[in-house]
């Protein structure tokens, strides 16, 4: 029995031995030589923001922005008590009495904005309405001197003196009326398009007495008064030719203080894909530059020249379609390698209206833009 | 056939299989072992009686996967002998992904035979009883999951990340089986085994759909229609918004002896199963056989949790309209988005009993008896797991010397592998029968060299030493069945039989 068992075991062992001899070591892996480098670098893409918004969603009507009955957007600036003249303000004279409108400045509070703007903007139909209440029975002629001050130049309104309406005595003790200053009687479009940060104004008001048949009429009483205010209306009827808005901010991407959880070195690629259907007759380009203020050099620039292309317009300058745009803004590893070498980031947005040569367009409150911005990120996740 | 010729034949078969570098099989099927009735209840051993002692009778561990191999995960690079992992920057991820299957499965199975009894009644009838504890798992990871992790979601732009094949099922149950086989004609033998099943614990995922569509604009549409059914000492708590707030293991179940017994008895989760099989002797030399095994179900009623999610959610980024028109801040819009996401994927938590079905197998075999002791066999085994089908085709050479000695060598094509060589050995010493069977002999090995640091028992010194660990070059499947039976008698006593070895 034992011999038989031994033979059986020998048989089986032989088989296994043959298998083992034939089946040998395929590879030897010395794990001490294993590279410690291990990483994951998936490309992740996610729609980040989207929207379908009209101009009226972006800008609400207010004292400064109104939409007229045709939904045309109009900027309105008002200045009360530009003129407040009583009889005592006029120099005593028999025939002509003259009062001075004291020099004053109307600050539009656009200085900060204008400091960052370059390029050409033109408003085609601005107007200034001089609203007044006049109780002088004799004709009052206003000679208004208006000068707009822009960033580096100034423009004179060049408005001819104009006569105010007078009350129809004795039934009418005072009259409320207005006088409109526009492109037909002045340089107003040029003045507004400078564009102004402030407007200086001064002038005179002259009363010319006339001989009356009825001596009962009293021409100039001590209670007579002229009150006037200005309303500047700037319809968004304009053209933009490479209007640039440039702003410099601190480099918020830099990771020198350790507060930023995103280290630029952790990215191989960051791409922003913007798709838009633009119903505005305005095109936009974006440039982002890493700037070293010490060496005064730009280290790297990312540019999206066709971020938005303008919508087509009809003969009246009204948009009559949408333009689809798809743009990629790519931040590659060259950009990321320069992030920590710059202390500032300069953003430049360039706007143009429709046309190869930017043409006159009108902005209406029901213009829409729909957009989708997606982030494509290729992070470098190291397990070392 | 003389003894020498038999030895030579075995040797040639061995050499043949080795030279073609192909191996594997379902070795047990054609062996003369009592346990082969687990694969086809019509099969009977040559012993008149067998007793499988608790636990010692045998266990079967089976792990199948179609994942990549060690050499795919670690690559020898430059300089010579340096090794890089698949996460190394210079490793070609696309090459790695090319080796990943559309559905990557991992199927661990463990069967422990707690008790086995089989005995012949009369000439033709064989009766058997079994009690087995079984743990079966089925996990499927879709290829898209690997692509997503390694390449990111941009890869799927304009298409869908299809995770509908994601599966995670595991069940632990006990089966009490009783059956018999007998000859209905001279040629036809039929066996049947009825099984009473007791479920102890399970977690099973019914994934009807799960996917993320990545649209051209990188908006994402997530859809999920899936149910996770659990039975076990686990408590899932929900918050007021029907989001899962915690998953806790219930320790109290195991605080008392009665609790432990109650848990492991599985008496409240009952099910039924059946194995049926037949053999047909076409001629004295040619035998066909077939079986269907593990046809059954378990109805789970105890400690049941059903988590169901049937939702769709579209993420297209933060809608800036409310921010632009000033009605909300961007933080509020972000919070709204998160709330929408949470609300979109609410999970219903119910306690409804559920049913799981066993993966069942269909075996079709044929054997040709070269001699009375030596046969060659061909076996097809199809395993059906829900909608998944696994197929294995085996060619085997078998030597059965009565109940004294049985061995088998087999080649199997399965698991996308065509180099599976299996072997089995059973021998009897007195009333004790030992057996060991493996469906896959790892012929090619990789040696893993490493270094370990050990600490001195005295003092604080350490020293480093190297170690070598052999691992199979291909690890797609691992199977091992071994155990010990008590066997009595031998029904194969034919006058003209000339045993190769004489049993004293």
Contact A374 B217 (CB under 8 A): yes
Task: Based on the fold, state whether residues A52 and A168 are members of the same structural domain.
Answer: no
Query: How far apart (Å, rounded) are the C-alpha atoms in residues B177 and B129?
Result: 6
Q: Does B434 touch chain A (CB under 8 A)?
A: no
Q: Do residues A212 and A85 share a domain? A: yes
Q: Which of A47, A58, A275 to mutate to test the interface with B (most CBs of B within 10 A)?
A: A47
Per residue in B278-323, pLDDT tens? Answer: 999 999 889 999 999 999 999 999 889 888 888 888 888 888 888 8
Q: What is the CATH number of the domain that holds A136?
A: 2.60.120
CA atoms within 13 Å, Cβ hemisphere of B157 = 13
CB-based contact, B320 to chain A, within 8 Å: yes
Strands (E) across B301-404 are located at 304-315, 318-319, 348-350, 354-357, 360-369, 374-385, 388-401
| Cβ separation B83–A19 shorter than 8 A | no
Question: Given an 8 Å threshold on Cβ–Cβ distance, is A42 in contact with B148?
Answer: yes
- Give Cα separations from A214 to A135, A170, A223, B362, B434 (angstroms): 19, 12, 21, 128, 145
Q: Are A26 and B446 within 8 A, CB to CB?
A: yes
Per cent of chain A over pLDDT 70 is 87
Average pLDDT for residues A107-136, to the nearest whole number? 88
Average of per-residue pLDDT across A92-117: 82
A178 and A310 part of one domain: no
SS (H, E, C) A209-238: CCCCCCCCCCCCCCCCEEEEEEEEEEECEE
A212 touches B: beta carbon within 8 Å:
no
User: Nearest-CA distance from B86 to chain A in Å?
Assistant: 8
ω before B79 within 30° of 0 (cis)? Answer: yes
pLDDT at B501 over 80: no
Helix (H, G, I), strand (E, B) or coil at B490: coil
B89 to A58: CB separation less than 8 angstroms, yes or no: no
Judgement on whether residues A209 and A252 belong to the same structural domain of the protein: no
Report pLDDT digits (tens) over B81-127: 788 888 888 888 888 888 888 888 888 889 898 889 999 998 889 99
Q: Is residue A204 situated within a structural domain? A: yes
**Mean pLDDT for chain A?**
85
Nearest to B150 among A1, A33, A42 (CB): A42
Q: Is residue A68 part of a domain?
A: no
Express each pLDDT in B191-231 by its tens digit.
999 999 999 999 999 888 999 999 988 999 989 898 999 99
Interatomic CA distance for residues A305 and A327, integer angstroms: 9
What are the angstrom distances between the C-alpha of A125 and each of A70, A364, B302?
Answer: 15, 15, 82
Residue A337 within a domain = yes
Q: Give the mean model confidence (pLDDT) for residues A74-96.
A: 84
Task: Return the bridge partners of B4, or none.
Answer: none
Q: CA–CA separation, B450 vs A33, rounded Å?
A: 9
Distance, CA of B403 to CA of B373 (rounded, Å)? 11
Q: Is residue A155 located within the same domain as residue A254?
A: no
This model of the complex carries an ipTM of 0.75
Q: Are residues A296 and A320 in the same domain?
A: yes
CB contacts < 8 A (A, B)? 190
Q: Based on the domain organization, do A206 and A154 belong to the same domain?
A: yes
CA distance to partner chain A, nearest, from residue B422 (Å) = 11
Residue contact A19–B441, C-beta within 8 A: yes
For the segment A45-75, what is each residue's pLDDT rounded down to a tens digit? 999 899 999 999 989 899 889 999 999 999 9
Confidence tier at B499 by pLDDT (50, 70, 90): very low
Distance CA A25, CA B52 (A): 38
* A363 part of a folded domain: yes
**Cβ B152–A45 below 8 Å, yes or no?**
yes
A282 and A352 fall within a common domain: yes
Q: Does A373 touch chain B (CB under 8 A)?
A: yes
Asked if B153 and A14 come within 8 Å (Cβ–Cβ), the reply is no
Chain A hits for B15, Cβ within 8 Å: 18, 22
- Residue B503: the pLDDT is 44
Range of the domain at A330: 3-57+239-382
Scan for tokens 């291909």, then name that residue.
B474
Residue B334: CA count within 13 A, CB half-sphere: 4
Query: Nearest Cβ partner of B84 from A35, A48, A49?
Result: A35
By the CB < 8 Å criterion, does B469 face chain A?
no
User: Does the residue A65 lie in any domain?
Assistant: no
Chain A interface test: which of B84, B97, B317, B400 (most A C-beta within 10 Å): B317
Q: Do B449 and A29 touch (CB under 8 A)?
A: yes
Query: Is B5's Cβ below 8 Å from some Cβ in A?
Result: no
pLDDT given for residue A215 in this prediction: 47
Question: Does one domain contain both A39 and A184?
Answer: no
Q: Please indicate whether, in this complex, the C-beta atoms of B82 and A35 are within 8 angstroms of each other.
A: yes
String of b and e for A43-60 (b: at least 16 CB within 10 Å)?
bbbbbbbbbebbbbbebe
- Specify the range with the lowest mean pLDDT, choosing from A183-187, B148-152, B178-182, B306-310: B306-310
What band does A3 get if pLDDT is binned at 50, 70 and 90? low
Is the same domain home to A327 and A342? yes
Structural domain contains residue A11: yes
Last residue of a domain, one of A187, A202, A235: A235
Q: Domain ends where: A207, A235, A263?
A: A235
pLDDT reported for residue A261: 56
The verdict on A244 and A360 lying in the same domain is yes
Q: What is the pLDDT of residue B12?
A: 38
Q: CA nearest A43 in B: which residue?
A: B152
**What is the band of A95 on the pLDDT scale with cuts at 50, 70, 90?**
confident
Calculate how close chain B gets to A268, using CA atoms only, in Å.
Answer: 13
* Pair B167, B185: CB distance under 8 Å: no
* A3 token code pair: 């011999």
How many domains are there within chain A? Answer: 2
In a domain? residue A63: no
Residue B63: how many other CB atoms lie within 10 Å: 16
pLDDT in tens, A212-235: 555 444 455 567 889 999 898 999
> Are A87 and A230 within one domain?
yes
pLDDT score of B247: 82
Q: What is the pLDDT of residue A262?
A: 60
Query: Which of A4, A5, A50 lies nearest to residue B319, judging by beta carbons?
Result: A50
Q: Measure in Å the smallest separation between the Cα of B328 and chain A Cα atoms.
A: 12
pLDDT at position B16 over 60: no
Task: Please name the residue of chain B whose CA is at the shortest distance from the CA of residue A57.
Answer: B325
Partner residue opposite A45 with nearest CB, options B153, B444, B503: B153
Q: Which 244-303 residues of chain A touch chain B by CB within 8 A?
A: 273, 275
A47 vs B149, B218, B423: nearest CB: B218
Residue of A nearest to B330 (CA): A49
The reply to whether B315 touches chain A by the CB within 8 Å rule is yes
Of A289-293, B433-437, B453-457, highest mean pLDDT: A289-293
> Among A196, A218, A235, where does a domain finish?
A235
Q: Is 70 exceeded by the pLDDT of residue B237?
A: yes
How much is the pLDDT for B9?
42
Across the interface, whether the CB atoms of A4 and B502 are under 8 A apart is answered yes
Half-sphere exposure for A33 (CA within 13 Å, toward CB): 16
Q: Which of B37-46, B179-188, B253-262 has the lowest mean pLDDT?
A: B253-262
pTM of the model: 0.74
Residue A66 lies in a domain: no
Residues 67-126 of B with CB under 8 A from A: 70-71, 74, 76-77, 81-85, 87-89
At residue A224's C-alpha, the angle toward residues A220 and A227, to 5°, is 135
């Amino acid at each position: 029995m034992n011999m038989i068992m031994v033979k059986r075991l020998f048989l089986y062992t032989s088989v296994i031995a043959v298998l083992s001899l034939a089946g040998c070591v395929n590879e030897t892996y010395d794990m001490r030589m294993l590279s410690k480098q291990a990483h994951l670098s998936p490309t992740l893409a996610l729609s980040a923001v989207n929207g379908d918004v009209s101009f009226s969603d972006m800008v609400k009507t207010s004292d400064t922005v109104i939409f007229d009955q045709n939904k045309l957007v109009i900027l309105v600036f008002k200045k009360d008590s530009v003129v407040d003249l009583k009889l005592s303000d006029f120099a005593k004279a028999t025939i002509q009495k003259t009062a001075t409108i004291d020099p004053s400045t109307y600050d539009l509070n656009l200085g900060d904005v204008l400091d960052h703007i370059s390029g050409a903007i033109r408003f085609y139909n601005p107007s200034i309405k001089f609203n007044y209440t006049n109780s002088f029975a004799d004709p009052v002629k206003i000679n208004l001197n208006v000068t707009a001050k822009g960033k580096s130049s100034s423009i004179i309104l060049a408005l001819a003196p104009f006569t105010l309406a007078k009350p129809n005595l004795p039934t009418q003790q005072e009259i409320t009326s207005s006088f409109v200053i526009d492109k037909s009687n002045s340089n107003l479009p040029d003045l507004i398009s400078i564009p102004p940060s402030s407007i200086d104004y001064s002038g005179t008001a002259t009363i010319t007495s006339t001989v009356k048949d009825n001596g009962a009429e009293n021409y100039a009483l001590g209670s007579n008064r002229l009150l006037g205010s200005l309303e500047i209306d700037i319809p968004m009827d304009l053209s933009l030719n490479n209007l640039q808005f440039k702003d410099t901010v601190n480099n918020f991407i830099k990771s020198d203080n350790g507060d930023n959880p995103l280290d630029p070195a952790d990215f191989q690629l960051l791409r922003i894909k913007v798709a838009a259907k633009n119903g505005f007759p305005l095109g936009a380009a974006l440039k982002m530059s890493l700037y070293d203020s010490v060496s005064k050099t730009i280290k790297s620039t990312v540019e999206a020249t066709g971020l938005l292309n303008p919508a087509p317009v009809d003969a009246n300058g009204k948009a009559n379609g949408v333009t689809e745009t798809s743009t990629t803004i790519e931040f590659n590893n060259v950009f990321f390698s320069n992030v920590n070498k710059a202390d500032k980031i300069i953003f430049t947005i360039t706007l143009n209206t429709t046309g190869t040569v930017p043409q006159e367009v009108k902005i209406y409150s029901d213009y829409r833009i729909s957009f989708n911005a997606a982030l494509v990120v290729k992070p470098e996740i190291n397990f070392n | 056939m003389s003894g020498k010729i038999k030895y030579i034949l075995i040797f040639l078969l061995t050499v043949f299989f080795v030279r073609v570098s192909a191996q594997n099989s379902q070795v047990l099927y054609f062996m003369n072992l009592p346990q082969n009735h687990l694969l086809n209840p019509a099969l009977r051993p040559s012993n008149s009686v067998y007793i499988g002692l608790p636990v010692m009778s045998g266990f079967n561990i089976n792990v199948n996967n179609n994942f990549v191999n060690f050499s795919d995960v670690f690559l020898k690079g430059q300089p010579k002998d340096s090794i890089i992992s698949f996460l190394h920057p210079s490793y070609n991820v696309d090459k790695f992904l090319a080796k990943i299957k559309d559905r990557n499965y991992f199927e661990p199975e463990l069967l422990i035979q707690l008790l086995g009894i089989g005995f012949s009644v009369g000439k033709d009838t064989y009766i058997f009883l079994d009690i087995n504890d079984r743990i079966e798992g089925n996990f499927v990871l879709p290829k898209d999951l690997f692509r997503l992790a390694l390449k990111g979601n941009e890869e799927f732009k304009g298409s869908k990340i299809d995770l509908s094949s994601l599966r995670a099922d595991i069940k632990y149950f006990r089966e009490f089986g009783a059956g018999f086989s007998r000859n209905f004609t001279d040629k036809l033998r039929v066996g049947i085994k009825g099984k009473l099943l007791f479920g102890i614990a399970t977690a099973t995922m019914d994934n009807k759909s799960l996917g993320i569509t990545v649209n051209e604009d990188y908006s994402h549409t997530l859809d999920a229609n899936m149910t996770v059914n659990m039975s076990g000492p686990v408590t899932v708590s929900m918050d007021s918004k029907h989001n899962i707030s915690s998953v806790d293991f219930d320790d109290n179940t195991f605080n008392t002896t009665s609790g432990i017994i109650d848990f492991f008895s599985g008496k409240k989760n009952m099910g039924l199963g059946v194995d049926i099989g037949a053999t047909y002797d076409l001629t004295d030399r040619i035998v066909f056989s077939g079986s269907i095994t593990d046809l059954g179900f378990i109805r789970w009623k105890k400690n049941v949790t059903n988590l169901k999610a049937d939702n769709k959610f579209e993420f297209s980024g933060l809608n800036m309209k409310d921010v632009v028109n000033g009605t909300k801040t961007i933080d509020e819009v972000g919070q709204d988005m998160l709330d929408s996401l949470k609300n979109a994927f609410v999970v219903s938590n119910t306690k409804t009993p559920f049913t799981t079905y066993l993966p069942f197998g269909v075996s079709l075999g044929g054997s040709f008896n070269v001699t009375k002791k030596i046969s060659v066999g061909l076996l097809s085994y199809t395993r059906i797991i829900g909608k998944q089908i696994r197929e294995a085709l085996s060619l085997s050479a078998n030597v059965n010397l009565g109940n004294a000695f049985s061995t088998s060598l087999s080649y199997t094509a399965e698991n996308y592998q065509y180099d599976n060589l299996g072997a089995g050995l059973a021998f009897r010493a007195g009333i004790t029968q030992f057996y060991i069977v493996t469906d896959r002999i790892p012929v090619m090995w990789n040696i893993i060299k490493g270094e370990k640091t050990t600490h001195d028992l005295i003092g604080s010194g350490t020293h480093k030493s190297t170690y070598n660990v052999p691992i199979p070059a291909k690890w797609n499947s691992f199977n091992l069945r071994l155990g010990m039976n008590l066997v009595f008698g031998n029904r194969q006593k034919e006058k003209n039989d000339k045993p190769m070895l004489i049993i004293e």
